[in-house]
Each structure stands twice: as C-alpha cells, then as structure tokens.
Structure 1
Amino acid sequence: MSLRTSDRRKRNNRISYALVFLVLGFIFSFSYRTLGPGSETQQLRSGIDSKEEGFREELIEQKERNKQLTDEITSKQKAIAEVEQTLSDTEENHDSLVKEARSLRLLLGVVPASGQGVRVELADGDYDPAKQNPNEYIVHESQVLMVVNELKIAGAQALSINGQRLNANSSIKCTGPVITIDGQTYPAPFVVEAIGDSDALHSSLTLKGGVMDSLLLDNIEMKIEKQKEIIMPALRDDIQG
C-alpha cells in the first residue's frame, strides 16, 4: 500500500469520527435541553403538577366549606322546626283554652246558646185519684234530675227546663205537682232541652235499661225528639243572682 493511500484513509477516518461525535453531541445537547432539569418539557410538567396540586387543595377546601354550610343549614332547619313546634303548641293551647272558656260560659249560662240537640217532654201519667196514689204517677224532681244529669254526661253544652236556662249550680225542687227551678215555679209537663250532638244525646236517653225505660216503669210519660236547632237565651241577671 502506498503512503498516499494510507494518509487518505486516515483522513477519511478522522472525518467520519468527527461527524459521529458531532451528531452525538447534537443528540446529547438536544436531549439535555428537552429532558434536563431546566428543559421546557420538565418545566411544563412541573407547571401541570403544580396546577393539579392547586386544584386538589381547592377541592379539599370546597368540600370542607360545603360540609360547614350543610351543618349550618341543618342547624338552622332544626331551629326553625323548634320555633314552628313552639308556635303550634302555643296555638293549640290557645285554641284549647278558648274552647274550654266557651264551654264554661255555656255551662254557666252567661252567654246565649244555639245549635242542634234534643227536646225531652216529661208528663204525669194517667191515673184514677180515687184508686191510685198520685205520687206514683206525677213527675218528681229526682226524675227530672235523672234526665238532666244523663244529658250532661252525654255532652250537653247547655240545658233549659220550660225555657229557663240552667247553670252549673241550678237548684231543682219538687212541690206537689210543680217544680221550682232557681226560685221559679213551673207546672207539668216539663220540657227539658239540651244543646249538643243530637245523636249522642238521644242514644244516651234511649239505651236499653236506661233513663227512658226507668221513667216508663215509674208511669211517667216521656217523649224525645231530635232538634236541628235549639236557641237558648242567657240567664237573666235576677236569676243568676
């Protein structure tokens, strides 16, 4: 081999090595810029991670805030429910007291009364004075009181006898064929009127073995009628006193 050929071959090898090193250097440089600590990719990835971390923190804060708001709403709803219940109880108590006061006024007879009810007529039985004892056929105070008390038990709101309003302390006394109610005298027949549930009042008097059967056995004539409306005035001042 000639010296010239050998030199040419060495020069070509150096050129090849130089090209290889140049390409490798370019690759290393590019890789470093792309993947190195200060590379744009790394910076981009770091920015994304930072944003994700920020989103996570914001989401956690939002969840905590939502929980606080939920607890606050629950607390306020509970407070509102308690206030509503208090108002409801107060209203119910008020209504109950109003009804009770009205019932007492009706019972005392200090206010007029009206409504459905029953009309009960008690009359002396037919008898022969020459052969039979009149006391066994005339209406006595105990029999009138039996009717009045039964009607009270059955829920009568207001009562009257022969048009005279009764109160809680009314006195009924018998004097022969007449009865005296709070100082006022009335002859038979005696008409007892009661305001209340007409069905309940009627049923209480007509129960088998009850008031009506007892009075019929005592030879007292008794009639019971349901009334759609009964009107009773308040007690007069002179009677109340």
Structure 2
Amino acid sequence: MPQPPPVRSTPTPPSRPDASMSLLTNVMDHSLDDGYAEAAARKRAAGDRGLPKTLRAKLGLAAGLVLAALVVTVGAAQARVAAPVMAKEREELIDRIDRETAAAEKLEDSVDELRADVSARQREALKTSGGSDQAELVGVLAGAVEVHGPGVKLIVNDAKEAGTDGDGDPRGSSGFSDTGRVRDRDMQRVVNGLWESGAEAISINGQRLTALSAIRAAGDAILVDNKPLVPPYTVLAVGDGEGLSRRFQDSADGLYLNALQENFGIRTNISVQDDLRLPAAPSVTVRTAQPNTEKTEKGTS
C-alpha cells in the first residue's frame, strides 16, 4: 500500500527586528498627514470649503473683515499722529528740567558767595574786636576761620560688596538693612570719638564742623549741615597727631569702628599728618543765645 506523501509545513518567515516596537512603527508608517489628506478629500467631495454659504453669513464675514481692517488702520493712524506729540512733550520736559537745574545751580552759587561774604565779615569783626588772642581763639573754636596744623586723616568707606551680613552687629538694634554701608550713626560716633580724643577742629569731605553741625541721613545719603556727602568719607582732625591717633583708636568709638571693619568689611584707614588745612565753616547764625554781660558789668562797677 503506497504511503501518503509527507505533509510539508509552510516555513515561518523571520520576524522583523522592530516587531516589539509595533506602535512606533505604525506611527512612522502612517503619519497624521494621511488623516488630514483624507479629511480634505471628504470635504472636497462634499463641496464644503469652510466658507459661509448663505448671503447673511457672507455679509457678516465681510463686515467683520472690514471692521478689523478699520481698527488696524485707525490704530496705526493714531500712533503716527501721537508720536510727534509725545516727542515734542518729551523735548519740552527735558528743556524745562535743564532750565530748572541751571537756575538751582545759579542759586546755589549765589548762596555760597553770600556765605563766604558773611564768613569774611565775621572774621573781620573778630579781628577788630580788640585784636586780642582771645578773639582769634573764639574764631578757631567757632569754626569761623581757616585753621592748619598737625593731626590725623581718617578715611571711612563702604565695603567692597555692600550688603553682606556679618556675625554680631556692633550697631545694636539700629535696624540697618545694608550692613556694608557707612551710616550717619557711624560718622556721628567717629566725630564724637575724635572730639573726645582731643581734636581741636574737624572737617568731613571739606565740610568744617561746628557746635551747630548736624550729621544726618536722607535715604542712603549722609548729610553734613544739609549737604550730601559721597563716599569715601575723609575726616580731617587737627590736634596732637600721634596722641590723637592713639587715644582715638583706644577709645570706645575707635573700637566700634574697628568692629565695623572686621564684621562688615567697612574700609578704614587712619594716618598721622604733619600739616592739615581745614576751611572755615559756613556762616553760623545764632538766633537765640545771647552773651552773658552781667559779670562784666559787675566787675567794672
């Protein structure tokens, strides 16, 4: 009996290397562009181009386009018209600022001239009131005359990176937000320390200090007699140079300044000078105090 031929199985084709990535393969082989093309073909077959079909819809679309074009045109026209007006107003404002600045500078020069004239008259009055050494001493102590002599030169400047925080605030609870900046309170302590250490005349950045001088703050600026100063602050003090420098550095205010330098990076430098020249102070106006002449009258009676 003949044997049936053996059944031959169909050989299995080899699997694709990317069979495990069928989803990615499908996305790559069938991009979304085909879907868009099919949708566009259906719209063309249906005669739908996405435009309004009724007359009312077409009129509404046309009115909307005209309105949009009108808004853009009006905006552009207004911008072109307003630009020259704004430029003119800006020029007028700049001219006004320049005029006011020039007038303020002229008034400031006039004030300086009047102060110099009053100071000269005060010095002349001190010289002619008997011509005694006592009158000259009063002028020196009052700051009404220029002085020169040995002393110390102290430079106080802000930290290189103002605003860094330090450990242990030597200024206590003063509430300063920027500890790297020199403040009016610091300069007050420096000046008081120099007076206490034996200074006979002091100036800060060319501003002579008197018994009526005030060191205050306006924002971040330090004012001396209402004049703003710019760091670095150069303090000149006439007195016994070596002794004045030693006594100040050993005083509480000198140690305070040293603490500012160590903790906050405030830069200081003190040096002994052989000859310092300090200008006279602006005119000192006394409105209330009167000299006491009772003792003089009793002595001559």
Scaled by the length of structure 2, the TM-score of the pair is 0.43
Structure whose alpha-carbon radius of gyration is higher: 1
Structure 1 runs of 4+ off > 3 angstroms? 101-104, 131-134
Aligned to 1:145: 188
Partner of 1:231: 277
Matched, 1:182 2:225: yes
Deviations 1:198-236 (A, max 9, x none): 011111232287244233245221110111111112123
The Cα shift of 1:128 comes to 6.2
Q: What does residue 261 of structure 2 align with?
A: 216
- Equivalent residue number for residue 127 of structure 1: 161
Any stretches of 5+ residues in structure 1 without a counterpart? 1-96
CA distance in 2, matches of 1:236, 1:128: 33
2:245 match: 202
Please report the RMSD computed on the Cα atoms of aligned residues, expressed in angstroms: 2.4
Work out the CA distance in 2 between the residues paired with 1:208 and 1:169: 24
User: Any conservation in 2 of the 1:177–1:188 contact (CA below 8 Å)?
Assistant: no
CA distance in 1, matches of 2:140, 2:162: 42
Q: Which amino acid aligns with 2:259?
A: S
Matches of 1:128 and 1:227, distance apart in 2: 29
Q: CA deviation at 1:188?
A: 1.2
Task: Figure out how many residues of one structure are paired with residues of the other and give that number.
Answer: 141
For 1:170 and 1:109, how far apart are their aligned partners in 2?
10
Q: Look up the equivalent residue of 2:268 and give its one-letter code.
A: M
Counterpart-to-counterpart distance in 1, 2:162 and 2:188: 26
1:102-141 Cα distance to aligned partner (Å, 9 max, x none): 5543232111110000111110112265x75862010011
What aligned pairs does 1:161-176 form with structure 2 within 5 A after superposition? 161-176=204-219
- The C-alpha deviation readout for 1:1-36, integer Å capped at 9, x for no partner, is xxxxxxxxxxxxxxxxxxxxxxxxxxxxxxxxxxxx
Indicate the SS of the match to 2:198.
coil
Bigger proportion of residues as helix: 1
> Within 5 Å, which residues of 2 pair with 1:1-241?
98=133, 102-127=136-161, 135-207=178-250, 210-219=255-264, 220-237=266-283, 240-241=284-285
Fraction of identical pairs, as percent: 29
Between the aligned partners of 2:140 and 2:259, the Cα distance in structure 1 is 29
Q: Contact (CA 8 Å) 1:117, 1:228: kept in 2 or not?
A: yes
User: CA separation of 1:171/1:235 partners in 2, compared to 1, >3 Å: closer, same or farther?
Assistant: same
| Aligned residue identity for 1:223 | N
User: TM-score by structure 1 length?
Assistant: 0.52
Bigger strand fraction: 1
SS of the aligned residue for 2:217 comes to: strand
Structure 1 residues 204 and 215, CA gap change in structure 2 (3 angstroms)? farther
